[in-house]
Amino acid sequence: MNDTSIDDKFLKPYDPVATEAPIYEMWEKSGFFNPDVCIKEGITAPDAEPFSMVLPPPNATGILHLGSSLMCTIQDIYVRKNRMAGKRTLWIPGTDHAAIATQSVVEKKLDKEEGLRRHDLGREKLLARIHEYVEGSRATIQKQMRAIGCSLDWSREAYTLDEKRNKAVNKVFKSMYDDGLIIRKHRVINWDPKGQTTISDDEIVHEERDAVMYTFKYSKEFPLSISTTRPETKFGDAAVAVHPDDDRYQQYVGQTFNITFLGEPLTITVIADKEVDKEFGTGVLGVTPCHSATDYEIAERHKLIGVQVIDEYGKMMVGPEGVKGVKTAEARTKVAELLKDAGLIEKEETIKQHVSTAERSGGIIEPLPKLQWFIDVDVKIPSRGNKTLKELMLEAPVTFIPDRFRTIYEHWINNLRPWCISRQIWFGHRIPVWYSEDGAHLHVGAEAPTSEMGAIEGRHWTQDPDTLDTWFSSGLWTFSTLGWPDQTDDLTTYHPTTLLETGSDLVFFWVARMILMSQYVMGEIPFKAAYFHGLVRDEKGRKISKSLGNNIDPIDMGKKYGTDALRMSQIIGTQPGADSKMSEEKIRAYQKFANKLWNISRYVLSAEKPASSEQKENDAALLEELNSLAADITADIDAFRLHLAGEKLYHYVWHRFADIIIEDHKKGVVSTQTLTHILEKSLTLLHPFMPFITEEIWQSMHKKQLLMVEKWPV
C-alpha cells in the first residue's frame, strides 16, 4: 500500500471553486511571496541570485480582462519557477492612477448621476471624489489578481500616486529641470477639444475615415496650387513649401506674395524644404505653423511666424461669415463652398484618411500652439557623459523578446520629438513649479519657496495648475517601487529588475519611457529583458470588443472551469509577441486536463502492486526520461518558450503518464514508488502553470512544505 492515505475529496471530481480561495489564503499566510520570509525560513539562501519583476500597474479604474490575465499568468510562471529554483524572488504589485482615464470616468459618472461638471465641484472636491472611487476600484483589482493566482509580494504594494512615488516624481522633475532637459515653451501639441487637455503622440488613436482632398489656389493671382483635406486651416498659412529638387517650382522659391484668401489678408513666402513630398497632391505644401506639428518644425527652420486660427474648443477664430466661430468640420464645408463660388477649386477627390482622435474622450485632435512643459530628448547631459536621452535609450542593453521589437523601439526613438509632459487636468502629480505674483520669478520644488530659500518676504506664490503626464511617474516604476530616492536594500539587491513582461502595445507608452528614466536617473537599464505578448483575439481572430459581443471574462471562466484551465489555455499555442486566439471551448478542454491530473493522482495515491523482476530496469528508464523532460521544460521556460513547455507537460502527463506508465503499473512492471515519484515531479513541473490544483494534490500527499517553495527539478 502507498504510504499516503487518500483523501475523501478524491472520490469526487475536482472542485476549483471550493479549492482555489483557501489555497491562495494558505500561500499568502505562509509569507513566502516575500523573499525576506523565504530567507528567514531557510527556503532561500541569503546570497542567492536575485530574480525581480514589477507588475505593469493596471489602471486604477480597470478590471482584469483576457489580455491582463495572460500577462499575469506569464509573469506568475516566471516568478514561481524562479522561486522554486532557489532564487531570491521578488514580484512587486501596484496600480496606476491613469490620470486622464480615471478623471474621465469619474467626470462622466458625476455628469450622468448628479448633473455636475468638474468646475461645479472645484479642484479639491473633485479630487476627493476621484480618490474615493480609486480606492474601491483598486480593491477590486487586488481581488482579481489573487483570483488568477498571482504570487505577488503584497507587503510591497505601490501606487503611482502615493506619497513615496510623489517624492520620486518631484525629485526627478527638479533634476531634469536643473539639467536643462525640462523646458517650458510654446510649441504645437496634440489638443483634445473634448477633454480640454494635451495628450501625447502615443495616446492618439488613428481612425480611417473618408475625406475630401481639395486642390485650389489661395487667390486667382497666386501662381501655385496646393492640395489639402483641411482648407479651413489655410487662414493660418505663412508659406508654401516645395521640395528643393522639384524643378517645377524653383523659380518661385524665395518670393513673397501679399494676397487675400476669402477676404482675409495673407503673406505667403515660397520656401524649399526636404520635408515636402513631391508626389503628394501638387507637390506644394501650404505651411500652417500653428496647426501642424510638421509645419511647426518647418516654420522653425525657416524662421516663419504662424497665426493661430482655431481655438481650444475646435472653433474657428477668423474667417468670413459662416466660418468664424463655428467648429472646424462645419467650417471646412463652408470654406469649400466659398472656394467653389470664387472659382478657385481645381479638383476634388475622395480619399481615405487617418484621423487623429483622443484615446479616452474620442475627441478629434487639433494641433494647437500652447505654452507647455516638455522633456527635450536632444539636450546633452554632463552627468551622463554628455549624451542625450535619445542616445542613452538607443545604447541601453535590454534584450527584447521577440527581437523584432528592438527595431520598432529604435525606429520610434530616432523619430522622437520633445515629450509634452503637462496635462490640463486635476488628477495626477501636480507640476512642482511655483510662479510669483508678478510673474517675474519661478521656483521648482514640491513646496512654495520660503524666505530660507531666498524668497522675497510677503510675495505670493501660485503653483502651476497642470499635472504631469501619467507616463512620467510610470516611467520611474522599476526603481521608485524599490525605494528610490532612498538607497534601500531592495534597490541595491533587485535593480535592474530581471524581466519585464507587458503588452506589445506598450513599447512606446511605457517601456521606452522606463528605459529613458532609468538610464537618466540610475545610470543603468530598468530591466535586463523585456518580454512582449500580443493581443488576445476571439476564436475567429477578431479583436475582442463590446460591439462584437465576443468578450470572455477571465474571472467568470476561472469560476466555471478553474483558474488552472484558464491559465493553461492562454499559454499553450501563444508565442511571444504574437496574437493569440481564445474561446470558451479551449478553456473547457484544459478543464478536462485538470480533471485528468486529478484522476491520475487518485490512482497513484491509492495504488498497491506487488514487486516484479521487471520493475528495476523499467523504473530506471522512466526516471531517466523524467529527468530529460525536466531539463527540456527548464530550458524552454528560460528561453521564453512557455508555449512549448506547457505543451510538453500536457502531452507527458496525459499521453505518457496516464495512458502508458499507469497501465504498465497495473501490469506490475512499474513500481508504486516510481509512480509516486513521477507524480511528485510532474506536479512540481506543472506548478508554475497550474498552481492551484497542483498545490491541492501536493497537500493531500501530506507534504510538510508547500509546493510553491518545493525545489525545482534539476
Considering the domain boundaries, does residue 357 fall inside one?
yes
Q: How many domains does the chain have?
A: 4
Q: What is the pLDDT of residue 359?
A: 80
* Residue 407 belongs to some domain of the structure: yes
Cis omega (within 30 of 0) on the bond before 691? Answer: no
Asked if 469 contacts 420 with a C-beta cutoff of 8 angstroms, the reply is yes
- pLDDT at 383 (0 to 100): 94
Residues of the domain holding 584? 560-709
Distance of CA 165 to the CA centre of its chain: 18
Which contacts (CB < 8 Å, 24+ apart) does range 407-415 have? 408/507, 409/507, 409/508, 409/511, 409/512, 412/507, 412/508, 412/512, 413/512, 414/390
Task: Say if 20 falls within a structural domain.
Answer: no
**What distance in Å separates the CA atoms of residue 393 and residue 404, rounded to the nearest whole number?**
17
- What DSSP assignment string belongs to 322-334? TTTTSBHHHHHHH
Q: Are 307 and 295 in contact (CB under 8 A)?
A: no
**Do residues 544 and 66 lie in contact, with contact meaning Cβ atoms separated by under 8 Å?**
yes
Pair (586, 442) in one structural domain:
no
C-alpha span between 634 and 655 (Å, rounded): 20
Name the β-bridge partners of 356: 206
Specify whether the CB–CB gap between 526 and 479 falls below 8 A.
Answer: yes
Are both 656 and 567 inside the same structural domain? yes
> For position 491, what pLDDT does the model report?
98
Pair (611, 499) in one structural domain: no
Task: Tell whether the torsion through CA atoms of 64, 68, 73 and 75 is positive or negative.
Answer: negative
Pairing verdict, β 239-242 and 264-272: parallel
pLDDT at 509: 82
Whether 42 is covered by a domain: the verdict is no
Q: What CATH number does the domain containing 265 carry?
A: 3.90.740.10
**119 and 262 inside one domain:** no
Q: Are residues 398 and 352 in the same domain?
A: no
* Residues pairing with 265 in the sheet: 260
Instruction: Write the pLDDT tens digit of every residue in 470-502.
Output: 999 999 999 999 999 999 999 999 999 999 999
pLDDT of residue 1: 37
Q: What DSSP string runs through 89-128? A: EEEE-EEB--HHHHHHHHHHHHHHHH---HHHH-HHHHHH
Cβ contact 6:133 at 8 Å: no
Which amino acid is it at 70?
L
Write b or e for each residue in 78-91: b if 16 or more Cβ atoms lie within 10 A of its Cβ, otherwise e. bbbbbbbbbbbbbb
Q: Which are the contacts of 27, defined by CB distance < 8 A and separation ≥ 6?
A: 33, 151, 695, 706, 708
User: What is the sign, positive or negative, of the torsion defined by CA atoms of 347, 352, 355, 361?
Assistant: positive
Q: How far apart are CA 33 and CA 92, in angstroms?
A: 10
**10-residue stretch averages of pLDDT, the chain, 714 residues long:** 64 94 97 98 97 93 86 97 98 93 90 92 94 89 95 97 97 98 95 91 86 96 96 97 96 97 96 94 96 95 95 96 96 97 96 89 93 96 97 97 95 92 96 90 90 67 95 97 97 98 89 97 98 90 75 92 97 94 94 97 84 76 97 98 98 97 93 95 98 96 89 92
449 and 493 belong to one structural domain: no
Task: Answer yes or no: is 144 within a domain.
Answer: yes
127/428 Cα distance (integer angstroms): 9
Q: What is the CATH number of the domain that holds 495?
A: 3.40.50.620
Q: Which residue has the cell 524572488?
A: 89
Give the Cα separation of 646 and 636 in Å (integer): 9
pLDDT of residue 671: 93
Question: In this structure, are 483 and 456 located in the same domain?
Answer: no
Helix (H, G, I), strand (E, B) or coil at 436: strand
Regarding whether 319 and 252 lie in a shared domain, the answer is yes
Cα(109)–Cα(34) distance, integer angstroms: 38
Do 229 and 361 reside in the same domain of the chain? yes
Q: DSSP labels for 515-527?
A: HHHHHHHTSS-SE
Residue 378 lies in a domain: no
Q: DSSP E strands: which ranges in 471-554?
A: 497-503, 527-533, 536-538
Tell me the per-residue pLDDT of 23-74, one tens digit each, with 9 for 90 and over: 999 999 999 999 999 999 999 999 999 999 999 998 887 778 898 999 999 9
Distance between CA 703 and CA 560 in Å, rounded?
Answer: 29
Q: Kindly provide the b/e burial profile for residues 215-231, where b requires at least 16 CB atoms within 10 angstroms of the residue's own CB.
A: bbbbeeebebbbbbebb
Say if 287 falls within a structural domain.
Answer: yes
Close Cβ partners of 598 (under 8 Å, ≥ 6 residues apart): 10, 13, 14, 693, 697
What confidence score (pLDDT) does residue 540 get? 86
Bridging pattern class, strands 182-192 and 366-375: antiparallel
- Give the pLDDT of residue 137: 86
CA dist., res. 503 & res. 531, Å (int): 8
Give, in order, the Cα–Cα distances in Å from 675 to each of 598, 628, 657.
15, 17, 9
CB atoms within 10 A of CB 629: 20
Residues in CB range of 430: below 8 A, 6 or more apart? 463, 464, 465, 466, 467, 468
Residues 422 and 350 in one domain: no
- In angstroms, the CA 208 to CA 353 distance is 5
276 assigned to some structural domain: yes
C-alpha cell at 208: 480611417
Q: Are residues 209 and 354 in the same domain?
A: yes
Is the full-model pTM beyond 0.85?
Answer: yes
Cis before 93? omega within 30: no
- Residues 219 and 362 both lie in one domain: yes
Strand runs labelled E in 379-469: 399-401, 419-420, 422-423, 433-436, 442-444, 461-463, 467-468
Longest dimension (CA), the chain: 107
